[in-house]
Amino acid sequence: MEFNLKEAIEVLERTPQTLEHFLSGLSDGWLYCNEGEGTWNAIEVVDHLIEGEKNNWIPRLEFILQNGSNQPFPEFDRFSHLKNQSQRTIDQSLQEFKTIRMENISKMNTLIEPADFELEGYHPAFGTVKIRELLSTWVVHDLTHISQIVRIMAERYRSDVGPWREYLGILKKRDLNNK
Amino acid sequence: MEFNLKEAIEVLERTPQTLEHFLSGLSDGWLYCNEGEGTWNAIEVVDHLIEGEKNNWIPRLEFILQNGSNQPFPEFDRFSHLKNQSQRTIDQSLQEFKTIRMENISKMNTLIEPADFELEGYHPAFGTVKIRELLSTWVVHDLTHISQIVRIMAERYRSDVGPWREYLGILKKRDLNNK
């Protein structure tokens, strides 16, 4: 087991600033490209991260602390951000993400201490899960969506790189997985 | 074809600052973890990006401008950064990457104009390549290595996320590809 709260927070607090420095000021060509019909663009990924801050991580943590594993916590709708698409600019979304993430890290610090990491909740699909697994997942969820944004942008240049495609893992994987 | 120089530069100039805000100040646990024997950690990836700035992109661009496709350009050793591992801190490496990247973007702007994008060079493995393919590859090479760093870090929490692994694309892909 690698999880420790201090190191987890290091990643959680860096994700908003990382995305801000990566995405702010980019042309629409980069911000609105996606990987094909039914896939997300970078802006939609940031909106999904904001949804997670509002309705997933801290609400589930509180649910476990209140209910233990006696009842399953409500499912998180991973597509809800697509139903309420706002007219925010990317900078407004990035700013909102940063603000709510920092609030949530502070809130987490008031809610738990290391002795709580093994407390169990009940996931509607997985069954018993531990608080430390929820918090580890929060971190890896950030990483998977940073990776997704980068992959979406690489996809835009798939044909532009010509024969170098052979050497570029980010494009080769998509060849292998077809997704 | 999606490539245009202004948009390519948008990504090229953001990569150093993105990595700086993501990696600077992280614990050694994040900076030195890798995906198993023979794989790179985040610091080694940054060193590889620096090597590319010194010996790959601009030198190859200059080689094409000077020699056209009459002779193959020298191979770039993708592992050379492992032979000369420095004792730099991650912050020193990130700073060096930023400085040399910005110098190289300036240099590129003095070397070429859109009329040169179709000029051809000769890649030792691929044969004929165009300048616009080289420059597109420079961009996607950044993206592939940002993606690699993020994937390396996610790997560290593979077992910590418990059953959520099922939902985390960044871990599932590794399951599928075993690499």
How high is the pLDDT of residue B178?
A: 38
Chain B CB contacts of A129 under 8 Å are: 162-164
A82 in Cβ contact with A39 (< 8 Å): no
Determine, for residues B164 and A27 on separate chains, whether the beta-carbon distance falls below 8 Å: no
**CB contact A98 to B (< 8 Å):** no
* Non-local CB neighbours of A135 within 8 Å, separated by 6+ positions: A3, A5, A8, A57, A61, A108, A117
How high is the pLDDT of residue B176?
A: 46
Q: What is the mean pLDDT, run by run of 10 residues, along chain B of 179 residues? A: 96 98 98 96 96 95 95 77 75 97 98 96 94 98 98 97 93 55
- Supply the ipTM of this predicted assembly: 0.93
Chain B CB contacts of A26 under 8 Å are: 10-11, 14
CB neighbour class for A151 (10 Å; exposed up to 12, middle 13-18, buried from 19): buried
**CB contact A27 to B (< 8 Å):** yes
Q: How many domains does chain B have?
A: 1
Q: Examine the pLDDT at A3 and tell me if it is beyond 90.
A: yes
Per-residue pLDDT tens over the stretch A86-98: 678 999 999 999 9
B179 in Cβ contact with A169 (< 8 Å): no
How high is the pLDDT of residue B177?
A: 43
Please, which residues 129-168 of chain A have a Cβ atom closer than 8 Å to chain B? 129-130, 132-134, 136-137, 139-141, 143-144, 146-148, 150-151, 153-154, 156-157, 159-164, 166-168
CATH of residue B64's domain is 1.20.120.450
CB neighbour class for A164 (10 Å; exposed up to 12, middle 13-18, buried from 19): buried
Per-residue pLDDT tens over the stretch A10-22: 999 999 999 999 9
* Non-local CB neighbours of A142 within 8 Å, separated by 6+ positions: A11, A12, A15, A49
Determine, for residues B137 and A30 on separate chains, whether the beta-carbon distance falls below 8 Å: no
CB-closest option in A17, A143, A161 to B140: A161
Residue entry with tokens 């700013």? A95
Q: Which structural domain range is residue A139 located in?
A: 5-177
Measured in angstroms, the CA of A2 and the nearest CA of chain B are apart by 6
